[in-house]
Structure 1
Amino acid sequence: MVTVRASRVPLSVLDLAPITEGSRATDAIRRSIELARHVEQLGYRRYWLAEHHFVSVASSSTTTLIALVAAATDHIRVGSAAVQIGHHTAASVVEAFGTIDALHPGRLDLGLGRSGQRRTEALSAVAAGRRVTEPQPERWVDGLLIPEPFPIEQLLSSPRLATMSSALAFEGARQPDFADAVDDVLALLGGRFRIDDLEVRAVPGEDADLQVWIFGSSKGQSAAVAGASGLPFVANYHVSPASVLEAVEAYRAAFRPSARLTEPYVVVSADVVVADDDETAAQLASTYGHWVYDIRSGHGATDYLDPATAPPLTAQQLRVVADRTRTQFVGAPETVVGGLEALVRATGADELVITSVTHDFEARKRSHQLLAEAWR
């Protein structure tokens, strides 16, 4: 167990760029830019954008949106959470971020995630009769709920997921090993990239002033690569709350100092909805479970529903999303602050990255405002 000081760690924002019921992708993009400006004024440290494809979120072209947000803000760090490296070459990633850095130097965070490689490995395990998700009982650690894990085996068989994955790659393309892909990114940034002893230079990109991050949801390869490479690590409590502690522990155990980082640095994500009182916040957050259920049933993220008209989830649907809805931090400012303090105590987080999704955009902005004010 990790024991940390009680002082406040910095807060950052993860934007999923959700398309809400009754709106369009155009609206979501404009709202992302408005939200970035808003949280910059509130003192948040970073503004990260998630990469998702063929679903009702507007950040599929993450690097493009990062450039738009960087141009619309002044000083907040802007980045990816995370580039799905299996869908991009290391060169294309470094060149794209290098291009943005040329006009916004020293403000970019390049977050990298395993994406398709993890799904390929999991499918192979299922085909071989091996278990992908290890069961564990629910427990509380220093005031933080660690729920039973969601068995992802049922999601892996989704035809839609397979179709989306195939649409993002050339036929016959091989997923790169994540460690090799990260090494290639670092080599291109550092001017050390070679193919068959021939020098290859990323222009723009080489020597770009980027912070490179690794995102992970378990104690697997992502945590190991982040630690061995001496890079900061982001543990996804908002996606995989059951495995957050083992992910952080594995990263710290694997950490080796580097020119980029001398000590482990851990950011932990949290899904948050803050309102003036607990009842209002609960109403605003009441369709979060619907969103998660659509994802886990294989449809992907659909339009985020309006709580005023959405039907309640059935008992079966609630069981599917229980780990996510019960680990969402929802309530008045003091309620949410208490939950986030427990998250910091249990994980030893050096920073928290907050995602907050509501159908009402003004309520979403206010959620970030109330949290920033209470956290200070």
Structure 2
Amino acid sequence: MPPVPLSVLDLVPISSGSDASTALRNTVELARAAEEFGYRRYWLAEHHLHPGVAGSAPALVIQAVAQATREIRVGSGAVLLGHQTPLSVVEQFGILDALYPGRIDLGIGRSGRPRGTPPTAPAPERGDAEQDGSGRAGTFTDEGLYLPPQFTGFARLLQSPRFRLQLSLLQQPGAQTPAYDEQIDDILALFAGTYRDEDGAEARATPGDGADVDVWILGSSAGESAEVAGARGLPFGANYHVSPGTVVEAVEAYRAAFRPSAVLSEPYVSVSADVVVAPDDETARRLAAGYAPWVRSIRSAEGAIEFPTPEEADRHEWTDEDRELVADRVDTQFVGAPETVTERLTVLQQATGADELLITTITHDHADRLRSYELLAQAWFKQA
């Protein structure tokens, strides 16, 4: 049986000693290489106010990647709806489809402050439910996939000064994010040319109306994102690399909610994973050394740092609190020789029933990152 397809999720990381311009050029080069290696899609993430991430405007980076490639699908992983309106999203991706027809994916994620939520409170139901903080050990699925204890710090992140500043800079004063399901319905109606407001007034997005864009919903657990994706018959992206402890329940919730649509007759799931591949396990572990301090910078609400060299990572002074902060992410990163990583990714695919896997790889040196994607593709597709 052929292996499921592989795709790429690129955060456009900035390495220490480098800059955003170099990171963006590296993204274009990696996208060209990924197409040659056989990856199905190339998705760009949206992040703001992170010193070490240059992918703040997915639509712009998608245009650069689509222009530099020929056939690979290019899209967002994900556009965050709390930062813009459904119409602005449809118009942006309508333009992309007009320029690169039949190649554009719109991955959508939740963000921002839902309607009626006080400015200092965490956004409810983000797919990241709090747990009891007992430090209990994780579990394993029957297939052997490790599910660590769920990370409990998202509420603290949402209450941080950096997150509040992000909201104030990305939303107009007094703006309220509408209900997520309503936003998704508006996007689908604008693409279909069927949008009507409550008074019956029509709206036509130009470009956008009738665009051949594949709409995806991305989510981290058995919350609203999974339910919305399933109920509308849309493909779903589950985030093992963001919230590994909840990936199985997210996929199960999506499948339970799924209803056939004009888009899909049965559920379709992509599952993400953090991966570093090198010729041998020891080299891969060395290349991945910067991952833990990089994750710590995100989880501590400082914002992603420029990705450190292994030597810089060695100099990081760790506290027990730091180690606990990053444990779930570090323990579920797929690091090693091609055969090592392929075996572990196969377990992830079997445990989740993923129809494809979305691979995100960050190393300090761009050449090592390119080589990681190449080695993985060679080993993975050799199984066919």
**Shared topology, TM-score over 0.5?**
yes
- Following the alignment from structure 2 to structure 1, what is the Cα–Cα distance between the partners of residues 69 and 229? 29
Paired residue secondary structure (1:116) = coil
Query: Pick from 8, 14, 17: which aligns with 2:12?
Result: 17
- Following the alignment from structure 2 to structure 1, what is the Cα–Cα distance between the partners of residues 362 and 138? 26
Q: Please, which runs of 5 or more residues in structure 1 have no aligned partner?
A: 1-5
- Code of the aligned partner of 1:133: E
String of CA shifts for 1:1-44, please: whole Å, max 9, x gaps: xxxxx641100000010011001100011000000000000010
How does 1:35-54 map onto structure 2 within 5 Å?
35-54=30-49
Aligned equivalent of 2:171: 169
- Following the alignment from structure 1 to structure 2, what is the Cα–Cα distance between the partners of residues 52 and 76? 23
Contact 1:82–1:112 (Cα < 8 Å) also in 2: yes
Aligned equivalent of 1:239: 242
How far the C-alpha of 1:124 sits from its partner, in A, is 4.7
Between the two proteins, the alignment pairs up a number of residues equal to 368
- Following the alignment from structure 1 to structure 2, what is the Cα–Cα distance between the partners of residues 48 and 86? 19
Query: Pick from 94, 105, 112: which aligns with 2:108?
Result: 112
How far the C-alpha of 1:153 sits from its partner, in A, is 2.9
- Using structure 2 for the length normalisation, give the TM-score: 0.92
Contact 1:77–1:109 (Cα < 8 Å) also in 2: yes
How does 1:252-331 map onto structure 2 within 5 Å?
252-310=255-313, 311-316=315-320, 317-331=322-336
Q: Please, which runs of 5 or more residues in structure 2 have no aligned partner?
A: none
How far the C-alpha of 1:118 sits from its partner, in A, is 7.0
Paired residue secondary structure (1:308) = helix
- Code of the aligned partner of 2:14: I
Residues 227, 121 of structure 1: CA spacing in aligned structure 2 closer, same or farther, 3 A cutoff?
farther
How far the C-alpha of 1:117 sits from its partner, in A, is 4.3
Paired residue secondary structure (2:168) = helix
Contact 2:114–2:177 (Cα < 8 Å) also in 1: no
Contact 1:21–1:305 (Cα < 8 Å) also in 2: yes
The Cα RMSD (Å) is 1.8
Contact 1:125–1:132 (Cα < 8 Å) also in 2: no
Paired residue secondary structure (2:378) = helix
Contact 2:218–2:237 (Cα < 8 Å) also in 1: yes
Aligned equivalent of 2:55: 59
- Following the alignment from structure 1 to structure 2, what is the Cα–Cα distance between the partners of residues 37 and 121? 44
- Code of the aligned partner of 1:360: D
Residues 148, 122 of structure 1: CA spacing in aligned structure 2 closer, same or farther, 3 A cutoff?
farther
Contact 2:121–2:158 (Cα < 8 Å) also in 1: no
How far the C-alpha of 1:146 sits from its partner, in A, is 0.1
- Code of the aligned partner of 2:240: Y
How far the C-alpha of 1:134 sits from its partner, in A, is 2.5
Aligned equivalent of 1:366: 371
Contact 2:5–2:40 (Cα < 8 Å) also in 1: yes
Paired residue secondary structure (2:312) = coil
How far the C-alpha of 1:309 sits from its partner, in A, is 2.7
How does 1:66-81 map onto structure 2 within 5 Å?
66-81=62-77
Paired residue secondary structure (2:311) = coil
Residues 230, 212 of structure 1: CA spacing in aligned structure 2 closer, same or farther, 3 A cutoff?
same
Contact 1:91–1:188 (Cα < 8 Å) also in 2: yes
How far the C-alpha of 1:296 sits from its partner, in A, is 0.7
- Code of the aligned partner of 1:281: A
String of CA shifts for 1:133-186, please: whole Å, max 9, x gaps: 124641011111100111123323311111112211001001111100000000
How far the C-alpha of 1:305 sits from its partner, in A, is 0.7
Contact 2:121–2:159 (Cα < 8 Å) also in 1: no
Aligned equivalent of 1:138: 138
- Following the alignment from structure 2 to structure 1, what is the Cα–Cα distance between the partners of residues 274 and 189? 34
Contact 2:191–2:211 (Cα < 8 Å) also in 1: yes
Residues 138, 264 of structure 1: CA spacing in aligned structure 2 closer, same or farther, 3 A cutoff?
same
How far the C-alpha of 1:313 sits from its partner, in A, is 4.6
Contact 2:94–2:207 (Cα < 8 Å) also in 1: yes
Contact 2:112–2:123 (Cα < 8 Å) also in 1: no
How far the C-alpha of 1:122 sits from its partner, in A, is 11
1:99 equivalent in alignment to 2:101: no
String of CA shifts for 1:251-297, please: whole Å, max 9, x gaps: 00000000011100000000000000000000000110111100111
- Following the alignment from structure 1 to structure 2, what is the Cα–Cα distance between the partners of residues 181 and 365? 37
- Following the alignment from structure 1 to structure 2, what is the Cα–Cα distance between the partners of residues 204 and 46? 23
- Following the alignment from structure 1 to structure 2, what is the Cα–Cα distance between the partners of residues 137 and 247? 20
- Using structure 1 for the length normalisation, give the TM-score: 0.94
String of CA shifts for 1:51-71, please: whole Å, max 9, x gaps: 001112111011011011101
- Code of the aligned partner of 2:177: Q
- Following the alignment from structure 1 to structure 2, what is the Cα–Cα distance between the partners of residues 248 and 123? 31
- Following the alignment from structure 1 to structure 2, what is the Cα–Cα distance between the partners of residues 328 and 123? 32
Paired residue secondary structure (2:8) = strand
How far the C-alpha of 1:115 sits from its partner, in A, is 1.3
How far the C-alpha of 1:121 sits from its partner, in A, is 9.1
- Following the alignment from structure 1 to structure 2, what is the Cα–Cα distance between the partners of residues 244 and 126? 20
- Code of the aligned partner of 1:12: S
Paired residue secondary structure (1:28) = helix
Paired residue secondary structure (1:198) = coil
How far the C-alpha of 1:214 sits from its partner, in A, is 0.2
Paired residue secondary structure (2:310) = coil
Q: Moved runs in structure 1, 4+ residues, more than 4 A?
A: 117-127
- Following the alignment from structure 2 to structure 1, what is the Cα–Cα distance between the partners of residues 312 and 83? 37
